[in-house]
Chain A
Amino acid sequence: MTTVRICHLYPDNMNIYGDRGNISVLIKRLEWRGHSAIVTRVGIGEEFLPGDFDLCYLGGGQDRDQNIIASDLANKAAGIRSAASDGVAFLWVCGGIQLAGHEYTDSYGTTLPGVGILDLETVAGEERLIGDVVLDANIGDDSFTIVGYENHIGRTYLGPDARPLGTVIKGFGNNGTSGDEGAVQQRVIGTYLHGPLLPKNPILADELLTWSLEHRSLGKTSLEPLGDDFTEAAQARAIERAHAKR
């Protein structure tokens, strides 16, 4: 039994799209395999110690909240970069993917610095990109389908060091034109998809958990698959509905 140490960054500010659901999925999927999790909430003014965590989660917030945390995040940036290069697993969603990049320029032209753990930049566009999304995802040698929901004004462009999380089958993705969604670099995953993301995408959840278990125990780990009818039905229904004309 291994205890995975999860850092939930800014849970009071960046939690608008049911982000708590992603955390529940991580905890439960560990527990169902006899492991466990400790979730530490790290907020404004609190220190981020890179050696203390195996997995780091950041969710989405409103513009106002994102502005409130941006300056605090700058104080944590060095620690976060050190954790990322040390192989800690990251899932940064919505506002998270923007702050994981080099910088984000909002609708008013203000530029917020990101922490730079993903090679990407984001600029606010004109219209919000909103709706159901289906992806052909690729992580390492694994190919699988991801379903979710996007709602963002940011247009994100990847640099050479970041690979996309997946190819858009349905929806807008990073910027509405490139056909890419999300970004992966080392064990850092950024994505616009919420809904929340992990309940209907257990393969992605297990990928993150495998990484964090490996980080914790310093050895190769494989997680036994867990099947349940609800997840399969929910994903199948989401794919069907995303493709249906609405």
Chain B
Amino acid sequence: MRHFARFIAKAIAFLSPVLKQGGGTSAPGLALLKLDPKAITRMANGLSDGRIVISATNGKTTTTRILSKITDNAKISSVSNTAGANLKSGIATTLLRRSPSHKLGVFEVDEGVLPEIVTEIKPNIIVLMNLFRDQLDRYGELEKIRENWKSMIDGLPECTKLLVNADDPSLVFAALGHPNLVFFGLGETRYALESIPHASDSSQCPRCNNQLQYSQITISHMGDWHCTQCGLSRPDLDFEAIEIQLQGVERIKFKVLSRTGEEVIEAKLPGLYNVYNALAAFTAARQLNIEAAVAQTAIASVNAAFGRTESIQLADKDLTLLLAKNPAGANSNLDTLLLHPDKFHLAVLLNDRIADGRDVSWIWDVDYEKIFHKIESMHVGGERAYDLALRFMYGGYSTERITVNDKIGHLIDCLMTETPSNETIFVLPSYTAMLDLRAELVNRGLTHDFWEEEL
């Protein structure tokens, strides 16, 4: 029966790219789990060099890609769900595709199913990066995920190594008490924010509910924090990003300070959020005893995952996609756009399908106003285009300068004909809006399917 289940699932895995079912990243695993619910545990057992899981609201796909690239360069034969299918079905599909030579697993896991996956996959390394508000309709309350993560950590075997972003207070609170902790975070940087953004949550002490004090705020509620009431504070960093340089919308450069010295990291990825991603991947690589030099080279060569700062040539215009699926992510993207030296053409796209979150009220928590002065032309699109139009209208953006294009084909036509040659278009899409836009660009032969991309 087991073999039959795997056979059926593998047949689906073979067929689904042909059938264009999202590259077959989830369907085979879904079929397998129906026939054999314990399949993940059984298949993961074979990964004798270890199993790493990476979870976060934002950045888990990119971090998984970077770490995967590092293990490839280190000649460690590993399997990874790098196309972003991060629910049980996606992980089962990844494990199905594993060849017997794969000894290490690197998995990005959705924050909602993390405790369940951890029970099944028994990872020896867990990387926890951040928790932000996301898809309010789906989980009801962010607090619930935090509680679930804390109970998960309380039940971990001592030998499980926990890599935690020390800049996120709620993660530190959840992790404290676990004997096997590695903390990473950002040292002093000139790119810090002046105040806590409106969209942030949990700037209260996770232990005593007192308002936290910050000597540095990086993204949302993250930074160098402490509580004046109970004394909880950001722990000492084992891996600290210092001398951070954000080089436009293209690159970052920083040093990682650790017990073993200082290593320069460069990446073709923009923004402070990618400093966190690269730092997390580097920290994980060092736990696997991969040489720093190997990790550095790999990080320098990695390309952003599809839709996350992906550049696509639109005739003689440059279009860059920056996935923006929740307030923290969208605000980070806006900060990155501010690094662009010139004015630009902007398209913001919003859908409200299950994968986006049905509740779109979060767009009112994004500080779009801070880029108004950089916008040369403004398009809104997706199924909830008019909600975006109202968001910009009440933000004070001139309604005459907003073009609504709720059909993706029209939007692309419009951007192609109206944007002057050699100018830059930035697109901030929600998740399925990004997939729709890419699909249309693929149809027009302007880019490739996401499952064909190189790491």
Contact = CB atoms under 8 A, between A and B. Distances in A.
B141 A196 contact: no
Given A62-B141, A151-B137, A20 B365 contact: yes
Given A18-B365, A195-B360, A228-B399, A234 B133 contact: no
A199 B394 contact: yes
Interface in B391-415: 391, 393-396, 399, 402, 404
A130 B386 CA distance: 22
Contacts of A63: 141, 143
A234 B386 contact: yes
A17 B361 contact: yes
Interface stretch (A21-29, A80-88, A108-116, A213-221): A21-29
B372 interface: no
A245 interface: no
A20 B137 contact: no
Contacts of B362: 18
Interface in B352-378: 358-365
**What bracket does the count of chain A residues touching chain B fall in?**
20 to 34
Contacts of B383: 241
Contact of A17 (B136, B201, B386, B399): B136
A176 interface: no
B34 interface: no
Contact of A200 (B198, B204, B390, B399): B390
A68 B136 contact: no
A63 B140 CA distance: 10
Interface string B186-230: 000000000000100101100001000000000000000000000
B382 to A, nearest CB: 11
B364 A128 contact: no
Contacts of B171: none
A230 B395 contact: no
A233 interface: yes
Nearest to B209: A68
Contacts of A20: 198, 364-365
Interface in B109-168: 133, 136-137, 140-143
Contacts of B143: 62-64
A233 B390 CA distance: 10
A195 B399 contact: no
B389 interface: yes
Contacts of B365: 15, 18, 20
B318 interface: no
Interface string A1-30: 000000000001001111111001100100
Contacts of A234: 386-387, 389-390
- Chain A CB within 10 Å, residue with most, of B136, B359, B390: B390
A237 interface: yes
Contacts of B363: 18
B30 to A, nearest CB: 21
Interface residues of B, number: 33
- Chain B CB within 10 Å, residue with most, of A199, A230, A231: A230
A74 to B, nearest CB: 17
A24 B365 CA distance: 11
B204 A68 contact: yes
B92 to A, nearest CB: 27
A151 B198 contact: no
Contacts of A159: none
B361 A196 contact: yes
A18 B390 contact: no
Given A63-B141, A64-B143, A196-B364, A149 B394 contact: no
A155 interface: no
A130 B140 CA distance: 9
Nearest to B146: A64
B402 to A, nearest CB: 8
B383 to A, nearest CB: 8
A222 B143 CA distance: 44
Nearest to B366: A18
Given A25-B394, A64-B143, A18 B389 contact: no
Interface string A178-210: 000000000000000011100110000000000
A104 B201 CA distance: 24
B212 to A, nearest CB: 12
Contact of A195 (B141, B203, B361, B389): B361
A130 B359 CA distance: 9
- Chain B CB within 10 Å, residue with most, of A21, A63, A195, A233: A21
A51 interface: no
A153 interface: yes
A24 B363 CA distance: 13
A16 B136 contact: yes
Nearest to B133: A16
29 contacts: A15-B198, A15-B365, A16-B133, A16-B136, A16-B201, A17-B361, A18-B363, A19-B364, A20-B198, A20-B365, A28-B394, A62-B141, A130-B137, A131-B358, A149-B137, A149-B358, A151-B137, A151-B359, A194-B361, A195-B359, A195-B361, A196-B364, A199-B391, A228-B399, A230-B386, A230-B390, A233-B389, A233-B404, A234-B387
Q: Which 3 A-B pairs have the closest CB atoms?
A: A18-B364, A18-B361, A21-B364
Given A196-B361, A230-B404, 15 more contacts: A12-B203, A15-B198, A17-B136, A18-B362, A19-B364, A20-B365, A62-B141, A63-B143, A151-B140, A195-B359, A195-B360, A199-B391, A230-B393, A234-B386, A234-B389
Interface of A: 12, 15-21, 24-25, 28, 62-64, 68, 128, 130-132, 149, 151, 153, 194-196, 199-200, 228, 230-231, 233-234, 237, 241
Interface of B: 133, 136-137, 140-143, 198, 201, 203-204, 209, 358-365, 383, 386-387, 389-391, 393-396, 399, 402, 404
